[in-house]
Structure 1
Amino acid sequence: MKTQSIEKKYNTFIVIVSIVIPVVVAILFGVKLKDFGYKVEPLSFLPPIYALTNGITAVVLVIAVLAIKNGKRKLHETLMKIAIGLSVLFLVMYVAYHMTADSTAFGGEGVIRYVYFFLLISHIILSIIIIPLVLITYVRALAQRFDAHKKIAKITFPIWLYVAVTGVIVYLMISPYYVY
């Protein structure tokens, strides 16, 4: 009974966060500080840092799965908290960059252009979907409902890993077109 009350306690939070984050990011993506009279230099140094953050997140996720498969629950828990923290850090840097810099257009042509936009669009859609999945997975572990946690983690893990890896790939594909 206690475990269900823990999940119930967090359900509203999960719904709110899962809606608010994408909406706020979408709004802030369109906000440019210079349009409000702020004289800020574009944070041009951030894209490689947040791409690296995505890459580290991917590695942490894989190590966390290996840890739990080897019965190292505490290590798994720590690594998952790190992965969540890295994802939040990525989000903050991503928004900060886009509030200070104009969007970069992808300059590739032909098939590579379709590959880039497929990866970008799937990355964006899945990055929205992953928010509630990560939160639900985390809360089920917090509630010590490990069977339910494991079930949803089998869905959450590959999506989160895809988002992290495609974040790096999208950055590498667009990086030649950044204007510094």
Structure 2
Amino acid sequence: MSKVNNLEEKKYKRLITIVSVVIPLAVAALFGIKIPNVEPLSFLPPIYASINGITAVLLVASIVAIKKGNKKLHEQLNTTAIICSALFLVMYVAYHMTSNSTKFGGEGVIKYLYFFILITHILLSIVIIPFVLITFMRARLGNFPEHKKIAKITFPLWLYVAITGVIVYLMISPYYV
């Protein structure tokens, strides 16, 4: 890697570190804020769950594209997946700032399964932020050997987060008021 790219990567890594810390902290802080006298945005959960599903499809299509050698389509699909993830985050926060959290009503094994999926989804959604950003940055800087190495970790984690986002929604949707 050239010295210029190395300097650029260091600059981006600082920004990625900041974003990777600020986003989870901001989401946690905003989660506790309720906007008074605002109509709950109760229509959002099926929309942001669908966006998670679209993200999963985009990620799989992206892998197919790169395996077929279509770098441009691969890049476009991944950029769109990042935009979808950002849209999901904005809608998720907006929903929780205007609506009370929904309690899962299932019992027995299904309750433990739900909480396992939910907790791993939440934890990995935090972990995935720097992975996605570093993977994207390495591709943008043309550092494809390093991009490929981290993408092998990023892809399954991000796909898991996208798919479990849909599963969590489907499991809790009967309990929305």
| Shared fold per TM-score greater than 0.5 | yes
Task: Please report how far the alpha carbon of residue 108 of structure 1 lies from its aligned counterpart in structure 2 after TM superposition.
Answer: 0.1
Matches within 5 A, 1:86-165: 86-165=84-163
1:109 alignment partner, SS class: coil
What is the aligned counterpart of 1:2 among 1, 4, 18?
4
Unmatched tracts of structure 1, length 5 or more: none
Q: Give the distance between the partners of 2:149 and 2:92, measured in 1 at CA.
A: 31
Q: Is the aligned partner of 1:43 residue 2:45?
A: no
Unmatched tracts of structure 2, length 5 or more: none
Task: Please report how far the alpha carbon of residue 2 of structure 1 lies from its aligned counterpart in structure 2 after TM superposition.
Answer: 2.2
> What's the CA shift string for 1:142-165, capped at 9, x where partnerless?
110101000000000000000000
Q: Give the distance between the partners of 1:175 and 1:58, measured in 2 at CA.
A: 20
- Give the TM-score normalised by the residue count of structure 1: 0.96
Q: Is the aligned partner of 1:81 residue 2:79?
A: yes
Q: Is the aligned partner of 1:61 residue 2:59?
A: yes
- Structure 1 stretches of 4+ with a deviation exceeding 2 A read none
Q: Percent identity?
A: 69
Q: Is contact 1:14–1:135 with CA below 8 Å preserved after alignment?
A: yes
Q: Is contact 1:54–1:167 with CA below 8 Å preserved after alignment?
A: yes
1:132 alignment partner, SS class: helix
Q: Give the distance between the partners of 1:140 and 1:7, measured in 2 at CA.
A: 8
2:42 alignment partner, SS class: coil
Q: Give the distance between the partners of 1:67 and 1:14, measured in 2 at CA.
A: 26
Q: Is contact 1:106–1:177 with CA below 8 Å preserved after alignment?
A: yes
What is the aligned counterpart of 1:25 among 24, 27, 30?
27
- Give the TM-score normalised by the residue count of structure 2: 0.98
